[in-house]
Structure formats: structure tokens, C-alpha cells
Structure 1
Amino acid sequence: MRSDALSNRMRILEAAAEVLAAPGDTSLKSIARRAGVGQGTLYRHFPTRESLVLEVYGEEVEELVAAVPDLLGSLSPQRALCAWLRRLLYVGRCTPEFADAMSGACEAVTEQCPRAYRPLSEALSALVAANVAAGTIAPGTTAEDVLVLLGPLWRVGAKSEEGTRAERLFDVLMRGLCPELRPEGREQSQDRDQ
């Protein structure tokens, strides 16, 4: 990538991080204006809003992706999936723009799929596949299915009472995905006995 193109890309990412962190207009036009580039330049680097937002939250994406091997190595497939989805839910509830980008990327899982979304989809696919292999989740379940189910929980408000509601709804979701998922203490004690 040429140095001027790289400079434009970095300015766009910095401007997007600032715009997304502040209340108000978070449009791509606003981001391009703050970066001092035209909308065409912005779209050449980030063809969709989802690709830009997921790139801005790249550190969170990397942490989620990197967590999968450790989770699968230290927990049952059910618990690994539950822990990972709980982290993803937390990120999405704290950063609504990220949640919107995930929902938009999930709906457009095609050749247009944002580059930053693919590692998340592959990480979740590994967790789902581990559960399918263990017989703890229905065969044919995909990462995209799980994200579609998780999506509405990102919309639950950020107030503490809403957090309790989101947690309760998340538990309902997990019992639906993994019907044999037991309360954490019971499963851990049974795992130690085996």
C-alpha cells in the first residue's frame, strides 16, 4: 500500500474511533469529514460501514479470536461457547456500534463479508463445531445462527437492571442452544468426578 493510501487509512480509522466514541452523528460522511478525506477514499478502504466499525474495534476482535483455543483447552465445549458468547455480548452491549456492525455483517455473510468479521465467524464456528462433535448442540447449527439469536440481546439497555435482564435472557439462549447445560457448579463438580 502506498504511503499516502496508508496515511489515509490510518486517518480514517482514527477519525472513526473518535466519532464512534462520541454521541451524535456517526455517519460515514461525518467520519470522512473528520478524517479530511472524500467519501470515495473512505469507501475504497472500507466498502461497508461494518468493515470500518469492526476494524476500529480490531483489538476486541483479536482478543475474542485469541480466546477460543484457551477456552476449548480448559473448559467443556458448552462452557467454552457460553464464556465466549458472554464476552461477545459484553462487547456488543458496551459498544452499540460494534453490535450493529456484527448484526449487519452477519446478515451479509457472502463474498462481501467484512474482513474483520471473518475471524470472529471462524472463531465462533470452531466453538459450535466442538459442541456439535460433543453432541451438546444440534447438528446443522452455524455460527451465523448463534449470532442471529444473540443479536437482540445487544439491544437490551445498559442500566444495571437491564444488565440483569440481559444475563437472564442470555441464560435462556444458552439453555436453548445447549439443552444439557447445567448450572456451573454442578457441571464442574461432575467433571472432576470423571
Structure 2
Amino acid sequence: MRVDAQKNRDHLLVVARTVITEHGAEASLRDIARKAGVGLATLLRHFPTREALLDALLRSSFDELTVRAGELETSSAPEDALVSWLRDCVAVAREYRGATELMAAALEDSESALHVSCVTMRAAGTGLLDRAQAAGTARVDIDGTDLFALVAALAWMGDQPSFAPRADHLLDVVASAILTS
């Protein structure tokens, strides 16, 4: 990619992150382009679909969560690692209000631009869950898909004005329900 094209792409991502954080995943692509000082066609040339834009935004966060899972696996007790990663994952999902539906759908749709990122993130959490289960500190009747669903549910709650004040408390409740100790 040419240097100027990469610079435009990076700028679009910065602006898109701000707009989506403020207005949610359904924010107008036209507004993102306008705020970035480019035409809609330029935005669509870099990101042909809303999912492609969200994938570019989420991929770096998901990659960070994957790295974080590896760090936690070697530096923390299994139950602490799992809960810490769960908190981090919910925080990322909350940052992109409204993206949880797209993320959940992407798990089943291998053609989705978000599919690989979501599968990678789920695998990172599954590894931590498996480790905690092997240590006897997490329930054995849940799997990585259940964990991903709980992340989505907790992120969704954080998006709801009536539930948002309770979201952190409910994350604690869910974490304690996952753990056996």
C-alpha cells in the first residue's frame, strides 16, 4: 500500500473509533467519512462494508486480548487469569457499543469479515477457561462458546441505560458463578 493510502486508512480508523465509541456500531459511514475529511467513496475503498471497518477496529483489540491471555496464563493463578481476561474482554466489547450482535453472528458466518477475529478471541478465552477447569477452579459445564456469549451479554448490559449502572456488579456475579471456589 502506498504511504499516502496507508496514512488515509490509519486516519479513517482513528476517526471511526471515535465516532463508533460515541454513536455505536451503527454510526453513519457517511458521518465517519465527513469527519475524516474524505468522501464516502474513499472510506468504502478502504473498508467496503461496515463489518470490514469494525473488523479493522476490533482486530487490534482482539489481538491484544489474545496476547493478554498468554501473559495471564503464565503470570496468574488460573481463576485470576480467567476473571481478569473476562473483564478486559467485556471492556473491549463495551467500547464498540452495538457490535456484540455482529460479533456473535460472525462466529457462525465464515464469510464475515469479523469471523477470524472473533474465533481468535474466543479461542484465547477458551484456553484460559480450560486451564481454570483443569485446575478445578472453574465450572466444567461451560465452554468457550458459553464464555463468549457471557461476554456479549455483559457488554450488551453495559449498553443499556437502565442496566449500565449495574454492569460491573453483574460482571462480578457472573465471574463468581463461573468459578467453583
**Number of residues paired by the alignment?**
174
Q: Residues 123-162 of structure 1: CA distance to partner in whole angstroms, max 9, x if unpaired? A: 22321332344453325612x321222323224458xx96
Task: For residue 85 of structure 1, report the CA deviation from its aligned partner.
Answer: 0.6
Of residues 1-10 and 101-110 in structure 1, the stretch that sits farther from structure 2 once superposed is 1-10
For 1:26 and 1:172, how far apart are their aligned partners in 2? 32
**Contact residue 82 and residue 174 of structure 1 kept, 8 A:** yes
- The amino acid that maps onto 2:40 is G
CA RMSD of aligned residues (A): 3.4
Q: Cα distance 1:138–1:49, how it changes in 2: closer, same or farther (>3 A)?
A: farther
Aligned to 2:64: 63
Q: Return closer, same or farther for 1:14/1:175 CA change in 2, 3 Å cut-off.
A: closer
Given that 2:33 and 2:39 are in contact with CA atoms closer than 8 Å, whether structure 1 keeps it comes out as yes
Deviates more, 1:83-92 or 1:53-62: 53-62
Q: CA deviation at 1:168?
A: 2.7
2:40 aligned with 1:38? yes
Contact 1:46–1:52, Cα closer than 8 Å, also in 2? yes
Whether contact under 8 Å (1:99, 1:151) holds in the other structure is no
Kindly report which structure 2 residues correspond to 1:34-183, keeping only aligned pairs within 5 A, or say none: 34-35=35-36, 36-39=38-41, 41-56=42-57, 60-93=61-94, 95=95, 98-109=96-107, 110-111=109-110, 112-114=112-114, 116-135=117-136, 136-138=138-140, 141-142=143-144, 144-156=145-157, 165-178=166-179, 180=180, 182=181
* 3-state secondary structure, aligned to 1:108: helix
Contact 1:137-1:177 within 8 A present in 2 as well: yes
1:14 is aligned to 2:18: no
Q: Distance in 1 between matches of 2:65 and 2:21?
A: 20
Deviation at 1:11, TM superposition (A): 3.5
TM-score by length of 1: 0.67
Say if 1:92 and 1:154, in contact at 8 Å, map to a contact too.
yes
| Structure 2 length-normalised TM | 0.71
Q: What CA distance in whole angstroms lies between the structure 1 residues aligned with 2:100 and 2:106?
A: 10
Q: Secondary structure at the match of 2:98?
A: helix
- Rate the CA distance shift 1:42–1:164 in 2: closer, same or farther, 3 A: closer
Asked whether the 8 Å contact 2:89–2:151 carries over to 1, the reply is no
Distance 2:133 2:48 in 1: 34
In structure 2, C-alpha distance between the alignment counterparts of 1:167 and 1:18, rounded to whole Å = 23
Tell me the distance in 2 between the aligned counterparts of 1:48 and 1:127: 32
Give unpaired runs (5+ residues) of structure 2. none
Give the conservation status (yes or no) of the 8 Å contact 1:65–1:120: yes
Give the secondary-structure state (helix, strand or coil) at the position aligned to 1:56: helix
How far did residue 113 of structure 1 move?
Answer: 4.5
Distance 1:85 1:118, change over 3 A: same
Q: Cα offset for 1:58?
A: 5.5
Query: Residues 66 and 42 from structure 1, CA distance in 2 versus in 1: closer, same or farther, beyond 3 angstroms?
Result: same
